Chain A
Amino acid sequence: MAQAPSSPAFRKLRGYAFDPSLSTQLETAVVNEVVFRVRWEKELGAGPVGEYLEVVDFDPASGCFYAPVELDHPAILAQDGVSPSEGNPQFHQQMVYAVAMTTIANFEHALGRKALWSPRKRPDDKKEEPLVAPAAGAGEAAEAAEAAAASEAPAGGSGARKAREPLYSYVPRLRIYPHALRQANAYYSPEKKALLFGYFPAAQDNRGVHYPGGLVFTCLSHDVVAHETTHALLDGMHRRFIEATHPDGLAFHEAFADIVALFQHFTFPEVLRHQIARTRGDLASQSLLGQLAQQVGQAVGNYGALRDAIGQDNPETGQWEPKEPNPEDYANVLEPHDRGAILVAAVFDAFISIYKSRVGDLFRIASGGTGVLEAGALHPDLVNRLATEAAKAAQHVLNMCIRALDYCPPVDITFGDYLRALVTADYEMVHDDDRGYRIAFIEAFRRRGIYPRDLRTLSEDTLRWNARFEEVECDLVPLCLILRRFVETLSYPAEDGGDGTAVDERQRIWDEMENYGGLVNLLINGSDFDRAAFGQLTGLCLSRKHVPLGLRTNKHGIPKLEVHSIRAARRVGPDGDLVNDVVVCITQRRKVLVNPDDPVPPGWYDDDERHDDDPEWFWFRGGCTLVLDLETHSLRYAVVKRIGSESRLRRQRLFKTGGELAGLRATYFGDPTRSAEPFAFLHASHEPEP
């Protein structure tokens, strides 16, 4: 009998490189239809429902469902998926699946591990259990484990909760609703672990390329889908970034989502070649590659793309103009999208510099040494070579941007922190910056006024997260041993379920992260552990003495902590050695008043519930990201946001009372950034307005 053929590596699916509007223009129609090469999923059900995603097509505004597409149907397999069509909901389902999977693949490629969605928090059950004392404001899984395990004593009188029931549960698949809304909006819902896409009638004028008054589907825009998927992926890694604590917080979420969407354009070779030929190799001029969400932007009545990283249409002349970096912007622009645009522009600028340095020689070769090209179209060979370089540079930049997430603080991120994370992450990958990548980034950020305010100089080595822990004596071997066990456990192949069913590899990662997080918590709370020194290293408050106001403590008065995540970062290092690092994030929280002078009743700080007559308050979080070397049992980096920092607390209070952000909505509906759907507000408040 012939051997069964092995599974293919990819599933080919047709879709739009940008969005349907470009297919109606002669110039771009040829490149707009691309074939996505999506990792082959063996167990792909109708929907599609796979390992990471479940596409569920319910349209509540129309009160109807659309049948799920079966991508494994031979008729569909044989023709690279359903053919692109705005009028066929099955194609819409295929498009969101293809783009979201591509985005996930980019993440996993850069990080070298599987991507997880943010876990689901157990809903507040205060209605059933009114007397629960340490209820879950934001939940601390490890704390629950600790409370149960650390003391064998009966779990504290009236305050007993359902012990050991985890506060967070694993969510295997992100859900995607391609037609969830009738509005010009699309958002990631952290509550539902779902992407909701809207559709809406285009503006009734004739300036854009859309059909006036016709329907526009946000789920058919590559950029919108990639953007929203990135929100979900980022939330899976850093679930505190959606809390608005700093003008940079939500802006970072937005910017990062845009960066991923933008650089994904460069992974379509046809588009890249076409646009390089059109711009004669000058990617800094107006091109489709630097623009986001063409059709959506035009359809809401705004001529041009929704967001343009490198330039914009001048509203007076209607002409496209490149954006000039302004060092004042970072200080003055506060609206999240506009502020995010500064970061996107900085990254794009760095990319352009890198690209230029990579293609300088090609231009010189092609121009007989002058570097000045003759007029006319470029030679196709040159276009191909330029496209190869652009794609390489783009892939590097995208990887750098994603990899930097491992080196970000777990809470309260600023753009300056991100720059430091970028530089550190890249240094870890390539010690010798002979291509000048890091310089390009530092330069591009500096030109926009983005740099950390607490550094004396702006050189590569000062920007790298520092090594101030060298002054502190702290025995980290026991911690490293636990984390080593974590990494090793996961490196063994999973035992199958016994009944032949495949084990969900990602669930296993999640479960082990929970288990080992609990162990780390126990270790730190153990009697042998040098909490004072560890606290100095990490900026956490761990001793019974000098507990800052509002910090959560257990019933023994010891401050609680949450082991937020543990992530393995194993890879071949720059010198060819195996780098065996692990990243662990530990956080704490304090209950603090917005206005510190507000009077509160005695015992108020010990109550985790929100009450109607409370003065305004919020959770102030601190914590650290530790990068540990498991070979030498030493700390490589500590990225610290001190829980006791009064200056950071002051800044957050100021930010909370600033209030200009929300405008009319805040007049009538309260602070939207505290609502369950922060992205619904963010996207909606921006997109109807050019």
Chain B
Amino acid sequence: MSANTASGVRVRMYRQGLGDCFLISFPREGGGRFHLMIDFGVLLGTANAEERMKKVARSIALETGGSADGKMKGKVDVLVATHEHWDHVSGFVQARDEITGLIDVGEVWMAWTEDPNHPLANELRQDRKRKVAHLHAAAARLRGDTAMGDAAQGIEGLLGFFGARAEGGSTADAMKSLSERPESRVVYRKPGEPVFTLPGVEGVRVYVLGPPEDRKLIKKSDPTKRGREVYEFASALSLADTFFAGVALGLDDEGKGALAGAEMDPDAADLAFPFDRRYRIETEAARKLRVRKKGGGSCHFFREFYGFDAAGQGEGGDDGESPAWRRIDSDWLGVAQDLAMALDSDTNNTSLALALELGEGGPVLLFPGDAQVGNWLSWQSLSWPADPKRPDGAKITTDDLLRRTILYKVGHHGSHNATLREQGLEKMTSPQLVALIPVDQEMARKKKWAMPFGSLYERLKARTRGRLIRVDQGRLPFDEAAKYGLTRAEWEEFERRTPADPDGEALWIEYHLGG
């Protein structure tokens, strides 16, 4: 049965750049195909991004039954938007005309975190919006300090995951355009809902694994050392609040305008000051402050020991201007890097993670979005009755699903914290395991990101015995795969199952299951 269900299933990975776009198609009972599309985006700053995404959209339209002249629309039965990051949803903005004009969508699936009627979801989104605005402000302030330019660039790179700041160009706009499609039904998925099937497709069952509906887990992003499961940034909110209160303080009018709608309660902002008002000395007053000098006389203390002059090449002392190299005007903003990373991870953690089971007890396709540690860990507490009619009977656990996983869409372009080791990859023990990595290493290198992450990449190659497909390089060549134990015959079989687009434009590559 499982072999039958798997046969004819095709997973297509589009090769638009560093970003996710997958089209999975299942044979329908009685002919035709059922199309499940997951994500449609490419990283901000990719060359010709719009053109590429339009091309991908046209290809999807054709593949799903549309006509080349566009007179007949294609039909995607289910469109999944895993999470609100530009490299997953940019196409909905960049190729808006194509995606609406050429393709009909049956259902749109999003995670519960996008549900406008869910209180925790609203809180998370509100918090995210505020932090994005503040981090942009922090990055702008860092830009002004040459020594901190790298930090600013790093933060802006991370904020690029939320799209451009221009009107209509953000991820929020992309998500909004999805929920406003008149012909589609939007479904907010949450883990723990009963297993369900795809209409008209025999044997395929869908398991929703994440994101966890739990405030703590959804904020947990980094692997803990020493195996302790304590969540990080226990006080991220209040820590961030005091920090941002400082950021807002130093903004000019333009910067304050940019923060509109994300301002802080003035009482809270005042509490962020460490000392009473009477102790605080403003810069102008500090410049003039004189203190008694040893042996009589007085000196301008802060001029001599901190300095206000931008050039500040002096040596200080005896009322000279203190040198600029010892000042700390921007160092405190460096923590914005941590906050930007935390925000990025928190958003990745809202990924809708799906497992598609091909026939009862059959092989599993795992699409975790960019789920990070907290999301992955939460799957461990899930289980589903093997027989829906007997809820107290035998259970299917996440471990069962991982054990049967034969195709793994590697999370977050192969970064180190989006694939769990012991509770994840090491449990995918199927000898047929294949990995798809939507990564463009050149692009990642330009951004100075370690994607794919060295040791994880090694482990993936070992686990799949070299049966691995990347967006940038396609399938692993035989010489490379052979190092991980793949025989020539096996590799040729793998090659046969992984055809690329016939035009040789490297637009997509597929993996054909079964048969």
Report how many A-B pairs have Cβ atoms within 8 Å: 206
Instruction: Please indicate the chain B residues that have their CB under 8 angstroms from the CB of A666 in the complex.
Output: 450
Instruction: Take A301-B234, A668-B158, A669-B337 as given contacts and tell me if A66 and B281 are in contact as well, using a CB distance cutoff of 8 Å.
Output: yes
Residue of B221, B223, B224, B228 ringed by the most chain A CB atoms within 10 A: B228
Other A-B pairs beyond A47-B301, A690-B230, 5, CB < 8 Å? A45-B294, A64-B280, A192-B328, A199-B274, A201-B242
**Cβ contacts A to B, 20 pairs, < 8 Å:** A46-B291, A56-B302, A62-B274, A63-B250, A64-B281, A64-B286, A66-B279, A68-B301, A72-B294, A180-B332, A182-B242, A184-B239, A189-B331, A193-B326, A196-B328, A200-B239, A300-B235, A335-B225, A664-B221, A668-B341
Instruction: Please indicate the chain B residues that have their CB under 8 angstroms from the CB of A87 in the complex.
Output: 275-276
Please name the residue on chain A nearest to B237 by beta carbon: A204
Please name the residue on chain B nearest to A45 by beta carbon: B294
Please name the residue on chain B nearest to A686 by beta carbon: B225
| Cβ distance A565 to chain B, nearest Cβ, rounded Å | 23
- A314 to B407, alpha carbons, bound, how many Å? 39
Please name the residue on chain A nearest to B151 by beta carbon: A669
B188 within 8 Å of A (CB atoms): no
| Cβ distance B162 to chain A, nearest Cβ, rounded Å | 15
- A669 to B224, alpha carbons, bound, how many Å? 20
Instruction: Please indicate the chain B residues that have their CB under 8 angstroms from the CB of A181 in the complex.
Output: 331-332, 335
A376 within 8 Å of B (CB atoms): no
A58 within 8 Å of B (CB atoms): yes
Contact B326–A194 (Cβ < 8 Å) = yes
Contact A204–B279 (Cβ < 8 Å) = no
A residues sitting closer than 8 Å to B (CB atoms) are: 43-47, 49, 54, 56, 58-68, 70, 72, 87-89, 120, 123, 175, 177, 179-185, 189, 191-194, 196, 198-205, 213, 215, 217, 300-302, 315, 335, 338, 657, 659-660, 663-670, 675-677, 680, 684, 688-690
Contact B301–A203 (Cβ < 8 Å) = no
Please name the residue on chain B nearest to A123 by beta carbon: B325
Instruction: Please indicate the chain B residues that have their CB under 8 angstroms from the CB of A61 in the complex.
Output: 242-243, 246, 249, 332
CB < 8 Å: which of A60, A70, A665 contacts B328? A60
Contact A665–B341 (Cβ < 8 Å) = yes
| Cβ distance A165 to chain B, nearest Cβ, rounded Å | 14
Contact A667–B450 (Cβ < 8 Å) = yes
The 3 closest A-B pairs by CB, nearest first: A301-B234, A61-B246, A65-B286
Q: Helix, strand, loop or mixed for chain A's interface?
A: loop
Instruction: Please indicate the chain A residues that have their CB under 8 angstroms from the CB of B281 in the complex.
Output: 64-67
B196 within 8 Å of A (CB atoms): no
Contact A60–B332 (Cβ < 8 Å) = yes
Contact A177–B328 (Cβ < 8 Å) = yes
Instruction: Take A181-B335, A192-B328 as given contacts and tell me if A56 and B235 are in contact as well, using a CB distance cutoff of 8 Å.
Output: no
B289 within 8 Å of A (CB atoms): yes
Contact B274–A65 (Cβ < 8 Å) = no
Please name the residue on chain A nearest to B329 by beta carbon: A60
CB < 8 Å: which of B232, B238, B283 contacts A688? B232
B384 within 8 Å of A (CB atoms): no
B51 within 8 Å of A (CB atoms): no
- A183 to B272, alpha carbons, bound, how many Å? 11
Contact B228–A315 (Cβ < 8 Å) = yes
Instruction: Please indicate the chain A residues that have their CB under 8 angstroms from the CB of B233 in the complex.
Output: 688
CB < 8 Å: which of A64, A66, A205 contacts B234? A205
Instruction: Take A182-B246, A192-B326, A193-B326 as given contacts and tell me if A49 and B341 are in contact as well, using a CB distance cutoff of 8 Å.
Output: no
- A538 to B131, alpha carbons, bound, how many Å? 56
B94 within 8 Å of A (CB atoms): no
CB < 8 Å: which of B280, B283, B328, B330 contacts A66? B280
- A196 to B331, alpha carbons, bound, how many Å? 9
Residue of B275, B285, B449 ringed by the most chain A CB atoms within 10 A: B275
Please name the residue on chain B nearest to A180 by beta carbon: B328
B45 within 8 Å of A (CB atoms): no
Instruction: Please indicate the chain B residues that have their CB under 8 angstroms from the CB of A669 in the complex.
Output: 150-151, 154, 337, 448
Contact A217–B274 (Cβ < 8 Å) = yes
B residues sitting closer than 8 Å to A (CB atoms) are: 147, 150-151, 154, 157-158, 221-226, 228, 230, 232-235, 238-239, 241-243, 246, 249-250, 272-276, 279-283, 285-286, 289, 291-294, 301-302, 305-306, 325-332, 334-335, 337-338, 341, 344-345, 415-417, 447-451, 453-455
CB < 8 Å: which of A198, A663, A667 contacts B449? A667
Instruction: Please indicate the chain A residues that have their CB under 8 angstroms from the CB of B286 in the complex.
Output: 58, 64-65
- A47 to B274, alpha carbons, bound, how many Å? 19
- A60 to B283, alpha carbons, bound, how many Å? 10
CB < 8 Å: which of B151, B302, B332 contacts A65? B302
CB < 8 Å: which of A175, A179, A338 contacts B326? A175
Contact A201–B305 (Cβ < 8 Å) = no
Contact A201–B158 (Cβ < 8 Å) = no
CB < 8 Å: which of A315, A664, A670, A684 contacts B230? A315
Instruction: Take A45-B293, A62-B246 as given contacts and tell me if A183 and B448 are in contact as well, using a CB distance cutoff of 8 Å.
Output: no
Contact B228–A690 (Cβ < 8 Å) = yes
Contact B235–A201 (Cβ < 8 Å) = yes
Residue of B154, B242, B330 ringed by the most chain A CB atoms within 10 A: B242
Contact A194–B328 (Cβ < 8 Å) = yes
| Cβ distance B302 to chain A, nearest Cβ, rounded Å | 6
Instruction: Please indicate the chain A residues that have their CB under 8 angstroms from the CB of B273 in the complex.
Output: 62
Instruction: Please indicate the chain A residues that have their CB under 8 angstroms from the CB of B417 in the complex.
Output: 663-664, 667
- A66 to B341, alpha carbons, bound, how many Å? 32
Instruction: Take A179-B274, A183-B332, A669-B337 as given contacts and tell me if A56 and B306 are in contact as well, using a CB distance cutoff of 8 Å.
Output: yes
Instruction: Please indicate the chain A residues that have their CB under 8 angstroms from the CB of B337 in the complex.
Output: 665, 668-669
Residue of B158, B228, B279, B449 ringed by the most chain A CB atoms within 10 A: B279
Instruction: Please indicate the chain A residues that have their CB under 8 angstroms from the CB of B453 in the complex.
Output: 667
Contact B283–A63 (Cβ < 8 Å) = yes
Please name the residue on chain B nearest to A214 by beta carbon: B271
Please name the residue on chain B nearest to A189 by beta carbon: B331
Please name the residue on chain A nearest to B412 by beta carbon: A667
| Cβ distance A55 to chain B, nearest Cβ, rounded Å | 9
Residue of A204, A205, A300, A663 ringed by the most chain B CB atoms within 10 A: A663
Contact B306–A58 (Cβ < 8 Å) = yes
CB < 8 Å: which of B235, B279, B285 contacts A88? B279
Contact A203–B274 (Cβ < 8 Å) = no
Please name the residue on chain B nearest to A63 by beta carbon: B249
Contact B238–A201 (Cβ < 8 Å) = yes
Contact B235–A203 (Cβ < 8 Å) = yes
Instruction: Please indicate the chain A residues that have their CB under 8 angstroms from the CB of B416 in the complex.
Output: 663-664, 667
Contact A302–B235 (Cβ < 8 Å) = no
| Cβ distance B420 to chain A, nearest Cβ, rounded Å | 14
Contact A67–B289 (Cβ < 8 Å) = yes
- A556 to B13, alpha carbons, bound, how many Å? 60
Contact B221–A204 (Cβ < 8 Å) = no
Please name the residue on chain A nearest to B221 by beta carbon: A664
Residue of B233, B286, B338 ringed by the most chain A CB atoms within 10 A: B338
- A67 to B286, alpha carbons, bound, how many Å? 8
Instruction: Please indicate the chain B residues that have their CB under 8 angstroms from the CB of A677 in the complex.
Output: 331, 334
- A677 to B98, alpha carbons, bound, how many Å? 48
- A412 to B311, alpha carbons, bound, how many Å? 37
Instruction: Please indicate the chain A residues that have their CB under 8 angstroms from the CB of B291 in the complex.
Output: 45-46, 67-68, 70
Instruction: Please indicate the chain B residues that have their CB under 8 angstroms from the CB of A667 in the complex.
Output: 415-417, 449-451, 453
Contact A65–B225 (Cβ < 8 Å) = no
- A192 to B338, alpha carbons, bound, how many Å? 22
Instruction: Take A62-B280, A315-B230, A668-B341 as given contacts and tell me if A215 and B274 are in contact as well, using a CB distance cutoff of 8 Å.
Output: yes
- A665 to B336, alpha carbons, bound, how many Å? 12
